[in-house]
Structure 1
Amino acid sequence: MSNAKGKGKEVEPLPGPSSGSANPAASLSSLWAYLLPALNHIVKSPTNDPHCKKAPSIDMVFYSGIHTACYNYFTSQSENKANTPAARANGEVASGNDLYEQLDKYFLETAREIMLGVPQDDTALVDYIVPCFNRYSAGALSVNRLLNYVNRHYVRRAVDEDRGWLRLNDIVESVAKSLSAEDSRDKISELLKEKRVDELKKWGYKADGSGETLAAAEASAEAASAPDRIISVASLAHRRFRTEVFEPLLAVPVIKGPKPKKKIPKANGAPPPIPKGRLARSVKELLESKGGDEEERARLAKDLATALRLVGIRTDHALRKRLDKFVATA
């Protein structure tokens, strides 16, 4: 994914594969072979527009074909699973975990490709990461719409089965303190809802806010979750960008060798600075450098702040706080 300066022509919609006898819903391998060209086109097509926030499209026939293939695949999987004795005994009819894991692997490998291209020079880091994330995120949101059936059929069911970003075990201890043996199921349900709202407030949700703030807070909470949590396709992509790109760049380097017995203060009495991660150093250079294009500086800071929110970096993280403060006053 190029991030060179300038704006090029829009990428043409990708046509579907030529029709053949193969049924893309016959197996995971055949479905994935059918999906992969579309995913690569949407997520990885190169662009020379550094402000790119729109993913390339695929033509409507291919788009509809993917919807149909996913529907047929999930339907056949559910029917096959329901026909096994173990599934009938347990009432299991849903499937789709194999495709979901394949998508997770795809986003992981794509994020690692971006990480491999990170420049060695810290001063160039923000200029590289921001266009890469904008392009990747635009692709992720487009894939989320394309594979909406995965969200509706698999992710929603997984959340209903307590496998989502927030699980009963995560909140039961705090809720249990407010319960008594006489409490009704409705009161328990209400307490669980209140706890969920409390969690979403950590991601910017305000109880009197709009549906957009709720969706944004939940998307951040999903992306911040552990890899074993089942979340929407877009959040799945953002989570992998966090684990494979942002977290390594935010990590504070470990100083090798023996530690000094005593900390040596600076001449003015201030303690020596704590080593910061590469991204923090790059942001410091961006925000404190003199001269240059102020409008471009503000745009980079705003886009990076948005990226950190989308991938689930917490609001109290020092770098997020610094960027949010700068954006608010820019």
Structure 2
Amino acid sequence: MSTSGKGKGREQAPLPGPSSGSANPAASLSALWAYLLPALTHIMKSPQNDASATAKAPAIDMAFYSGIHTACYNYFTSQNENHFPPTSAARAMGTTDRDTQSGNDLYEQLDKFFLETAREVMLGLPQDDDTELVDYIVPCFNRYSAGATSVNRLLNYINRHYVRRAVEEDRGWLRVSDIVDLPAGTTAATLATTATALSMSREDAESREKLARLLKEKRVVELRKWGYDGSAQSPMGAAEAEASAEAASAPDRIVSVVSLAHRRFRTEVLEPLLAVPVIKGHKPKKKIPKAATGPPPSIPKGRLARSVRNLLESKGGDEEEKARLAADLLRALRLSGIRTDHPLRKRLDKFVTTGG
């Protein structure tokens, strides 16, 4: 993934589709992936001149675009027609219904592609923690996110066919098991209702109604953590907040294609850069602590936090560019699922809001 250039330049010509042949791209996962990979690589990894937050991903030819839609539809349709539950022998080996469900193999392949693409970003990291790190990460994320948004539209059939069904089957970012972790101030009566609802049979209509209501309430609680206040005038919409919540979820949770990509950027790029280094050495013998006579010793910070500190505390630079970098990095943290109470998010949010 190229990282050079900050301005807007001439757009690339759309990527043409592969030459037509007798091979059916929907015949197998390997055939479909071989058909998709050139388009995904072009969208996610082609060099671009525009690295702004409003950048658009490289385009592909409309005939190729339509061909991908058709191939995905045919692949899912053929899988549904030929799907059989795992045999007892396969179950004994650990195979589950999920492993044989239509679309699971393609979804996992796509997740692996995003993982590898995000790791490529780490290969070009600058060596020092000066402002160069922020200068590098921001355009990388802008291009990566623009590509992920484009892939999300291109492979929307995965969202409609696989992700939506997974959510209905309690495999999405918010699950019934999460209802146990209710917010502070929950009454004993609510906890009793939750326990009762969870213990009831899923086939019972009343139980399902209670579960649906409890999940809806829990969803609002979770979205509030991402800036959604539940009103029509909320500064952040429910869809935006849910996208952040999806990106913040564990890797085993099924989320939309764009959130899948952003989640991998978090796990493979942002979290390693935010990690506080572990200081190795022999532990000193316990001594009676002396009274503090000066400021407390500075706590080691992650590479990205140090780079942000250098950026925000720098003097004499381009203040407009500094503000743009801070706002774009804050957007990257939000879209990738870095929580609002993270110290770096709080510092960037304060700087962007107040200008200092």
TM-score, normalised via structure 2 length: 0.85
Aligned counterpart, 1:51: 52
Match of 1:232 in 2: 256
Task: Find out whether 1:289 has 2:297 as its counterpart.
Answer: no
Q: Kindly state the Cα deviation for residue 5 of structure 1 after the two structures are TM-superposed.
A: 4.3
What is the match of residue 149 of structure 1?
Answer: 157
CA distance, structure 2, for counterparts of residue 144 and residue 153 of structure 1: 13
Structure 2 residue corresponding to 1:257, chosen from 265, 281, 285: 281
Q: Which residue in 2 is equivalent to 1:60?
A: 62
CA distance in 2, matches of 1:66, 1:327: 41
State the 1:268 CA deviation: 5.1
CA displacement, residues 66-104 of structure 1 (integer Å, 9 cap, x when unaligned): 000000000001110059888xxx999951000000000
Taking the aligned partners of 2:26 and 2:45, their CA distance within structure 1 comes to 24
- Structural mapping, 1:302-317, within 5 Å: 302-317=327-342
- Provide closer, same or farther for how the CA distance between residues 55 and 80 of structure 1 changes in structure 2, counting only shifts above 3 A: same
Aligned equivalents of 1:94, 1:21: Cα separation in 2: 27
| Residue deviations 1:265-308 (CA, integer Å, cap 9, x gap) | 89852210100000000000010000111110000000000000
**Contact conserved, 1:223 with 1:235, CA < 8 A, in 2?**
yes
With over 3 angstroms needed to count, the CA separation of the structure-2 counterparts of 1:204 and 1:115, relative to structure 1, is same
Distance 1:310 1:273, change over 3 A: same
Aligned-partner residue type, residue 172 of structure 2: G
Q: SS of 1:177's equivalent?
A: helix
Matches of 1:285 and 1:115, distance apart in 2: 20
**2:76 pairs with 74, 77, 102, which one?**
74
Range with greater deviation from structure 2 (172-181 or 129-138): 172-181
Task: Look up the equivalent residue of 1:226 and give its one-letter code.
Answer: A
Counterpart amino acid of residue 269 in structure 1: G
1:250 maps to a residue whose letter is L
Do 1:224 and 1:312's aligned partners in 2 also have CA atoms closer than 8 Å?
yes
Identity between Structure 1 and Structure 2 (%):
73
Aligned to 2:323: 298
- Residue 190 of structure 1: CA displacement? 1.9
Q: Could you tell me how far apart the structure 2 residues matched to 1:293 and 1:259 are?
A: 45
8 Å Cα contact 1:265/1:271 also seen in 2: no
Following superposition, the deviation at residue 12 of structure 1 comes to 1.1
Tell me, yes or no, if structure 1 residue 201 matches structure 2 residue 216.
no
Residues 7 and 48 of structure 1 are in contact (CA less than 8 Å); yes or no, is this contact kept in structure 2? yes
Q: Structure 2: 5+ residue runs without aligned partners?
A: 89-95, 183-189, 201-205
CA distance in 2, matches of 1:108, 1:46: 19
Deviation at 1:4, TM superposition (A): 2.9
After superposition, residues 267-286 of structure 1 pair within 5 angstroms as: 269-286=294-311
Q: CA deviation at 1:193?
A: 1.1
- More displaced, 124-133 or 11-20? 11-20
Q: Give the Cα separation in 1 of the matches to 2:163 and 2:253.
A: 10
- The answer for unaligned runs of 5 or more in structure 1 is none
Q: Which residue of the partner structure matches residue 26 of structure 1?
A: 27
Q: Identify which range, 66-75 or 168-177, moves more after superposition.
A: 168-177
Secondary structure of the corresponding residue to residue 259 of structure 1:
coil
The verdict on how the C-alpha distance between 1:267 and 1:168 changes in structure 2, with shifts beyond 3 A counting, is: closer
| Count of aligned pairs | 328
TM-score (norm 1): 0.92
Following superposition, the deviation at residue 258 of structure 1 comes to 1.7
Asked if the contact 2:85/2:97 (under 8 Å) is kept, the reply is: no
Structure 2: how far apart are the matches of 1:6 and 1:188?
50
SS in 2 for 1:122: coil
| Partners of 1:70 and 1:149 within 8 A in 2 | yes
How many Å apart are 1:191 and its aligned residue? 2.5
- Tell me the SS of whatever aligns to 1:26: coil
